[in-house]
Structure 1
């Protein structure tokens, strides 16, 4: 599976969650953290998708994805440890941890698999 297949939906979920957090609680931290990080991830996924269309890998895109997911894992993991609230801290920390592992796997295996050109 290619990184952009998961990154773009992951970013969209974060954007939606950030907007919902802002609308429900007036939380600028939710808006900035969720929507901001989500938009960065969508951009990184887009970079990766465009590189894949050119039959290349986007290692800058993969690096951005990995750093964002690792930071979210740490920050939301800390918040979960402090509050013990599953939603949103525990869910975001768990998903972000899985995404971090996925991105590290992609880095370790050389990025997206580029299929051989059909002749």
Structure 2
């Protein structure tokens, strides 16, 4: 399978979002969670692209957890940026990876 460019772009989006959250409001939690989730998404996307016969649900699981976390933050704050946008992108990626699995 070729490299999962959409998965790597999403991982970069999440990691950069965490860095921007840190720069805007000195939120260490945003920085750490953005970098951790970005790294997990990147790693799972690379593993998923590495061997088509050994595909698993790891990328979908990571994106689902991110969707649940950011979706609950969106429901509490009602702010589209950043929680709503990340929740929507995470839901899209979860569905994408789940469809690839099945």
Scaled by the length of structure 1, what TM-score is found?
A: 0.77
Give the drift of 1:57: 3.7
Structure 2 gap segments, 5+ residues each: none
Structure 1 gap segments, 5+ residues each: 109-119
Question: Cα RMSD over matched residues?
Answer: 1.9
**Structure-1 separation of matches of 2:30 and 2:49:** 27
Scaled by the length of structure 2, what TM-score is found?
A: 0.89
**Structure-2 separation of matches of 1:99 and 1:93:** 10
Alignment coverage as a number of residue pairs: 102
**Structure-2 separation of matches of 1:98 and 1:57:** 23
Show CA shifts across 1:74-108 (max 9, x none): 11110001000100000000000111111110011
Runs of 4+ in structure 1 over 6 Å off: none
Q: Select the structure that is richer in helix.
A: 2
Q: Is the 8 A contact 1:11 1:41 kept in 2?
A: yes
